[in-house]
Structure 1
Amino acid sequence: MSNSFGTIFRITTFGESHGVGIGVIIDGCPAGVALEASHIQAALDRRRPGQSDLTTPRKEADTVQVQSGVFEGLTTGTPISLFIPNADARSDDYSHIAHAYRPSHADYTYDAKYGRRDYRGGGRSSARETAARVAAGAVAAQLLAHFGVTVRAYVSAVGEIEVPVGYEELDLRLIDSNLVRCPHPETAAAMEARIRAARDAHDTVGGVITGVALGVPLGLGEPVFDKLPAVLGHALLSINAVKGFEFGSGFAGTRLPGSLHNDAFYTDEAGRVRTRTNHSGGSQGGISNGQDIYFRVAFKPVATLLQPQQTINDQGEAITLAGRGRHDPCVLPRAVPIVEAMTQLVLADLLLRARANRL
């Protein structure tokens, strides 16, 4: 089972949803990066369960323990170990699926692949694993800040409700001003109502998160297999419930002729090479060009429904199954920091790789 990601700035996550806890080992972080537990905790607080009535009521403080790799507020260059205890696991909530396969969950595929599975909250397949990624992303964010790089993400669509403008027209400082993490207040209110309607109907709803990376230097990404969009797509498609990724103009760009889609170069007053448009999303030939990086990530509706569904058990017998326990009616508000974290991890790794490109 692969549990690691990255080349130089490399992470390995461990733990299960209903085990003792979850954690991450970060290897390859340079020495001298300013890092306090409060930096990591702030990111985890945005992802943790039970933070509003739009999320699962599971109560986890997600208090991070920095176990190694940091001394006197600075990284030491040695492996950084971060651990997050599980405090509110209720394994009995999952006893009814010990031998049942939940529709659109990993239950069946895990059984088929490994011959056994941890049914308590999904074990390693649970989205709780992403807390470890968020913790690691907070470390990557501190490294990126040293180079003036900032990553932000926000909910841009819930079901059929969509933000009517692009990120350039939004005040990204408003992302955390509402429960749904949408920086367009009018749309955010409609999104909140849509999520509550799904919850009250014992149903779920999906949507889209838009990500933006500002201040990314020229030259990140490799020209063949490890293109910046390819590595970013790998990272974001590894997040639970993600079903789609588009970079720059994405699928909408296919409706434009080349004469309108091409990004024309010019030299600005400071002598920097810029482009007049940014349909490329900040990357050309798989290499960052100094423009903003932007992308969209599609999340499916949460698979666990608190209503009866038809499925089978591990003997192949048809059964009726209704979800129990505590679940999100919409994963998007809590997924915003996860999208940011995976983007931060990719950019931190590519930045370190780029520094070895030439003398």
Structure 2
Amino acid sequence: MNGNRFGRLFQFTTYGESHGEAMGVTVSGCPAGVELDEETIQRDLDRRKPGQSMITTSRGEPDKVKLNSGTQDGYTTGTPIGMVIQNKDARSGKYEPFVTAPRPSHGDFTYSAKFGTRNWGGGGRSSARETVNWVAAGAVAKQVLAASEYDVEIKAHVNQIGDIEAPDVSFEEILEHSEENEVRCAHPETAEKMRDRIDEYQKAGDSIGGSIYFEAHGVPRGLGAPRFDSFPSRLGRAMFSIPATTAFEFGLGKDAREWTGHDRNEDWQFDEDGDPTPVGNKHGGLQGGITTGQPIWGEATWHAPTSIPKEQTTVDWETGEEKQVQVVGRHDPVLPPRAVPVVEAMLYVTVLDFMLLGGRINPERIDDRPGEYDTDYHPRSPANMDEE
């Protein structure tokens, strides 16, 4: 099975199944000299972990990360960074009725049709449980960018649940308010309405979809390339990799079909540094597949979670029988609130990968690491032979 690695210079490779022993990720391409510890990564994992509110799955996973390679004395060494997150509350038994009877709208049958087998416990590799690895990798990318000379800041919030849509909010409001409520909506009044709507579907044994708005500030101009390595094509790949994503757009997105060329086009002017810059940002920080230096903004959409307790119809491909089933267990009634840190993580790894490829950051080491390097040290010198 391919498709377990993301990135080109900054890469992460993941393993693990929903109800397996553990989840894990190996990050390669991280420059040396970046201050990094488990607590830094853990803070982002805590934002994604299950059981954090009544509108998330009740699965009791602490998602405690163990950093087991790639650092020395709290700094990255430039070698692969290994991280593991143990599964503590796996319960595969509830999925036994679906070994040969696919759950509606899941990947059960497509996985079995492709591979001739699958890990059926909780969806195995196809479960959104696997995104815990992505958030861990994103936390590393965030620290690399924080240690660089660039002031890159990325934040997202839930802007729609079902038919309830939040009004436009500023980036500062997203930074200030998105973590103040369990829906992770930066508009408090709308967050309350969203919470009530989620409750309605939850009590009815159903689920609901929604969307996430994101912004990335401080991304330098000139990242990306035309065609298949354009910034939006790579970012789109990142967003569509997140389970249950059905749409991704940047700038005006699908609304661009309603704009004339004259209205959408943005004139050019000189900025304070004397460089050409577009007047406005309807293009979402991207033109010709390359970053303009203005904030990158857009939206991604998720369908309603497919694991619901309402009775549905399936077929058993071994017995040839049709039967009624209920997907019981511990499942989210809505996905965007827990997907916010996943979106931010995939933005961070995408931005960092482009910056390393573009030579904006030294791929070997961060040069502004605090302290001085011992340039006289050499591991094979006679004075240091006794350390081996």
TM range (shorter): over 0.9
How far apart are the structure 2 equivalents of 1:318 and 1:231? Answer: 42
- Letter aligned with residue 52 of structure 2: Q
Structural mapping, 1:89-238, within 5 Å: 89-145=90-146, 146=148, 147-167=150-170, 170-238=173-241
Q: CA deviation at 1:131?
A: 0.2
- Letter aligned with residue 353 of structure 2: D
Residue 134 and residue 102 in structure 1: after superposition, are their counterparts in 2 closer, same or farther (change >3 A)? same
- Letter aligned with residue 212 of structure 1: E
Contact 1:198 / 1:329 at 8 angstroms: preserved in 2? yes
1:287 alignment counterpart: 290
2:359 alignment counterpart: 355
Contact 1:221 / 1:228 at 8 angstroms: preserved in 2? yes
* 3-state SS in 1 of match to 2:178: helix
1:16 has 2:20 as partner: no
How far apart are the structure 2 equivalents of 1:285 and 1:355? Answer: 20
How far apart are the structure 2 equivalents of 1:83 and 1:171? Answer: 31
TM-score w.r.t. the length of structure 2 is 0.90
Residue 45 and residue 256 in structure 1: after superposition, are their counterparts in 2 closer, same or farther (change >3 A)? same
Q: CA deviation at 1:279?
A: 1.1
Q: String of CA shifts for 1:132-158, please: whole Å, max 9, x gaps.
A: 000000001111222211111110100
Residue 356 and residue 140 in structure 1: after superposition, are their counterparts in 2 closer, same or farther (change >3 A)? closer
How far apart are the structure 1 equivalents of 2:173 and 2:316? Answer: 48
How far apart are the structure 2 equivalents of 1:184 and 1:212? Answer: 16
Contact 2:155 / 2:174 at 8 angstroms: preserved in 1? no
* 3-state SS in 2 of match to 1:225: helix
Q: CA deviation at 1:224?
A: 2.3
Q: Which of these two proteins has the greater Rg computed from alpha carbons?
A: 2
Q: CA deviation at 1:168?
A: 5.0
Q: CA deviation at 1:247?
A: 1.2
Q: CA deviation at 1:92?
A: 1.3
- Letter aligned with residue 85 of structure 2: I
1:319 alignment counterpart: 323
Stretch moving more, 177-186 or 161-170: 161-170
1:302 alignment counterpart: 305
1:266 alignment counterpart: 269
1:61 alignment counterpart: 62
Q: 5+ unaligned residues in a row in structure 2: which ranges?
A: 362-388
Residue 242 and residue 327 in structure 1: after superposition, are their counterparts in 2 closer, same or farther (change >3 A)? same
Q: String of CA shifts for 1:279-338, please: whole Å, max 9, x gaps.
A: 111011111010000111010000011111011122342111101110000011100001
Between the aligned residues of both structures, percent identity stands at 47
TM-score w.r.t. the length of structure 1 is 0.97
Q: CA deviation at 1:71?
A: 1.2
Please give the root-mean-square deviation of Cα atoms over the aligned residues, in Å. Answer: 1.4
How far apart are the structure 2 equivalents of 1:246 and 1:341? Answer: 17
Contact 1:253 / 1:279 at 8 angstroms: preserved in 2? no
2:79 alignment counterpart: 78
2:249 alignment counterpart: 246
2:334 alignment counterpart: 330
Contact 2:231 / 2:291 at 8 angstroms: preserved in 1? yes
How far apart are the structure 2 equivalents of 1:171 and 1:91? Answer: 38
How far apart are the structure 1 equivalents of 2:58 and 2:163? Answer: 25
Q: CA deviation at 1:166?
A: 4.8
* 3-state SS in 1 of match to 2:228: coil
- Number of residue pairs matched? 357
2:6 alignment counterpart: 5
Contact 2:157 / 2:186 at 8 angstroms: preserved in 1? yes
- Find 2:281's aligned residue among 260, 278, 282: 278
- Letter aligned with residue 162 of structure 1: E
Contact 2:169 / 2:187 at 8 angstroms: preserved in 1? no
How far apart are the structure 2 equivalents of 1:262 and 1:164? Answer: 24
Structural mapping, 1:25-40, within 5 Å: 25-40=26-41
Residue 168 and residue 48 in structure 1: after superposition, are their counterparts in 2 closer, same or farther (change >3 A)? closer
- Letter aligned with residue 332 of structure 1: P
